[in-house]
Amino acid sequence: MTECTPKEMYRAKKWQKIEILAAHNRKNMKVAVVGATGLVGKKMMQVLEERGFPVTEFYPVASERSIGVPVTFCGKEYKVIGMDQAVALKPDVAIFSAGGATSKEWAPKFAANGTVVIDNSSAWRMDPAIKLVVPEVNAEVISTTDKIIANPNCSTIQMVVALKPLHDKYRIKRVVVSTYQSVTGTGKKAVDQLMNERNGIEGEKAYPYTIDLNLLPHIDVFTDNGYTKEEMKMVNETKKIMGDDAIRVTATTVRVPVMGGHSESVNVEFEHDFSLDEVRALLSVAPGVSLVDDVANLKYPMPKDAHDKDEVFVGRLRRDETQPNTLNMWIVADNLRKGAATNAVQIAEYMKAKNLIGSAGVPA
Q: Which domains are seen in the chain, by residue range?
A: 14-152+340-353 (3.40.50.720), 156-335 (3.30.360.10)
Using an 8 Å Cβ cutoff, are 139 and 352 in contact? no
Question: pLDDT 10s digit of each residue in the chain, 364 long?
Answer: 455 654 443 333 444 544 444 444 446 799 999 999 999 999 999 999 999 999 999 999 999 999 999 999 999 999 999 999 999 999 999 999 998 999 999 999 999 999 999 999 999 999 999 999 999 999 999 999 999 999 999 999 999 999 999 999 999 999 999 999 999 999 999 999 999 999 999 999 999 999 999 999 999 999 999 999 999 999 999 999 999 999 999 999 999 999 989 999 999 999 999 999 999 999 999 999 999 999 999 999 999 999 999 999 999 999 999 999 999 999 999 999 999 999 999 999 999 999 998 743 343 3
Which segments within 163-299 are labelled E, that is strand? 172-181, 248-255, 262-270, 289-291
What gap in Å lies between CA 190 and CA 207, rounded to an integer? 7
Q: Which of 4, 24, 74, 262 is catalytic?
A: 262
Instruction: Compute the Cα dihedral for 87, 93, 99, 103 and give only its sign.
Output: positive
What gap in Å lies between CA 68 and CA 79, rounded to an integer? 5
Q: Which of 24, 74, 154, 167 is catalytic?
A: 154
Three-state SS across 126-151?
A: CCCCCEECCHHHHHHHCCCCCCEEEC
Pairing status of strand 131-132 against strand 116-119: unpaired
- Give strand pairing partners of 315: 330
What gap in Å lies between CA 53 and CA 75, rounded to an integer? 15
Q: Does residue 154 have an active-site annotation?
A: yes
Q: Does residue 262 have an active-site annotation?
A: yes
How much is the pTM? Answer: 0.91
Cα–Cα distances in angstroms (integers) from residue 291 to residues 8, 170, 210, 329, 346, in the given order: 21, 19, 34, 11, 21
